[in-house]
Each structure stands twice: as C-alpha cells, then as structure tokens.
Chain A
Amino acid sequence: MDVLYFAWVRERIGLPKEKVETTAANVRDLVAELSARDPRYAAAFADLSALRVALDQDLSDFDAPLEGVREVAFFPPMTGG
C-alpha cells in the first residue's frame, strides 16, 4: 500500500510517500512495524495523540483495520482556514 506523510511527520521521516508491503491488521500494527524499522519512524510516531491518520483519504483512527486499504496517510492535526 502507499503510505503518505505530511508536515512535520514528513520532515521527521524524511520522505513524502513510500510503498510498504505489510500484513499489519490495523493502523496501530503498521505504526509498530514502521517504528521498528528505523529511529526516524520511531521519533515521528512517538506520540500517537499528536497524530491523525487517513485511510483512502478519509479521516480514521489507529484501531481501524487495514484490509482493502490502498492509501494510508499520517499527519499532525490540521491547521487550515
């Protein structure tokens, strides 16, 4: 699946987008998998309460299942307007 990062999450991880092969059942498991990969991911995902997640461009939550999902995006709370 495609995994996207925005704002300081993107800066901390060092890339805007990547393809990830995973069997993670839900977002929380995916976060654990990525965090175990590299300290940059661990740093970006250190505090999940400071993050939001979107599944196929719909705002979701960390317990949501990933089955059938093509695009996961991680970002801080939005500041539009």
Chain B
Amino acid sequence: MRIAVQKDAFDLGEESQRFASDVAISGINAGALVTFTGVVRGSEKGEMVAMEIEHYPGMTERAIKTITQEAQQRWSLADALVIHRHGRLVPGEQIMMVATAARHRSDAFEAAEYLMDYLKSRAPFWKKEMTQDGTGNWVEAKHSDEEALTRWD
C-alpha cells in the first residue's frame, strides 16, 4: 500500500508501471489492476482559471490510510495506491489517482470505486475555484456524494 499527498505533479504512466511492478515483485497472484485518474475539470463557462486545494496535513494521510486499509480488507486487495495533490492546479491537470490490484477484476473495480467515494467525502481536502479576477468560490459538498457512501453500508 502506498499513499502520497503531494504538491507535485505525478506521471500517470510511471506510477501505473511502478504499481504493476510492485504487485508483480510481491509474488501476489493478482489478475486485475485497475487505475483511476481524476483530472481538474474546467467550469462550463470557462471562468475558472485554477483550482486551489487545501488539506489538513497529518489528518489527510491518516484518513486515506484508514480508508485504504478498509478497502484492502473488504476486497482482499493484493495492493493499493492513492496519490492526491494539493495546492494550485489548472484545468486539465491530474489531481489524483487510485490504483487497486486484486485476484479478480470485480474486486479491483469495486475497491477503486469505494476508495473514490470515501476520498471525496472523508479525506480532509477542500477545493476552491479561482476566477480570473482573483476571487474564489469554495466547492460545496454535494448531497449525492454523501449518499454514495450508503451503498457500501
């Protein structure tokens, strides 16, 4: 399991490759690797110039670790990776990635979805959409995001 909370950009290809190699080296019999990448989406009217992501150092790593351990147990994952960035990002930039490895693909897919759902509402990140004039709007949590968690109960 690897968790990274970082300001820096990451290389999707390199990270996927490294994850696959780690799984292969570990000798765990995993037949399915799933990776998901989150990208900063521009606003519909294009008035958003950047997304500022604030987080709670310490608690962020801890919360992600708890969520990932939970996923590993529920789906007996061979391995999991979570990378989440903070700081100022522009539309089109990669903001986060999740990778899961399991014996079968349904476990790998489900665990990745579970990680995504929980990272959205339980990891202490907050997004602010910055506009050209330098003002910003905090992204409000959606009711649907909270509801998405109930399917894992």
Listed in ascending order, the chain A residues whose CB lies under 8 Å from chain B are 4, 6-8, 54, 57-59, 73, 75-81
Contact = CB atoms under 8 A, between A and B. Distances in A.
A47 to B, nearest CB: 13
B10 interface: no
B38 A57 contact: no
Given A73-B56, A79-B145, 9 more contacts: A6-B126, A58-B59, A78-B124, A78-B141, A79-B140, A80-B84, A80-B123, A81-B38, A81-B120
A6 B141 contact: no
Interface in B20-48: 38
Interface in B79-133: 84, 96, 116, 119-128
A77 B121 CA distance: 7
A6 B56 contact: yes
A79 B125 contact: yes
Interface string B34-73: 0000100000000000000011101100110000000000
Contacts of A79: 120, 125-127, 138-141, 145
Q: How large is the interface on B (under 10, 10 to 19, 20 to 34, 35 or more residues)?
A: 20 to 34
B121 A7 contact: no
Interface of B: 38, 54-56, 58-59, 62-63, 84, 96, 116, 119-128, 138-141, 145-146
Nearest to A59: B122
Nearest to B128: A7
Main secondary structure on chain B at its contact with chain A?
A: mixed
Contacts of A76: 126, 138, 140-141
A78 B123 contact: yes
B125 A54 contact: no
Chain A CB within 10 Å, residue with most, of B126, B127, B138: B126
A7 B54 contact: yes
28 contacts: A4-B56, A6-B54, A7-B126, A7-B138, A8-B138, A57-B56, A59-B63, A59-B122, A75-B124, A76-B126, A76-B141, A77-B121, A77-B140, A77-B141, A78-B120, A78-B122, A78-B123, A78-B124, A78-B125, A78-B141, A79-B126, A79-B140, A80-B84, A80-B120, A80-B121, A80-B124, A81-B96, A81-B116
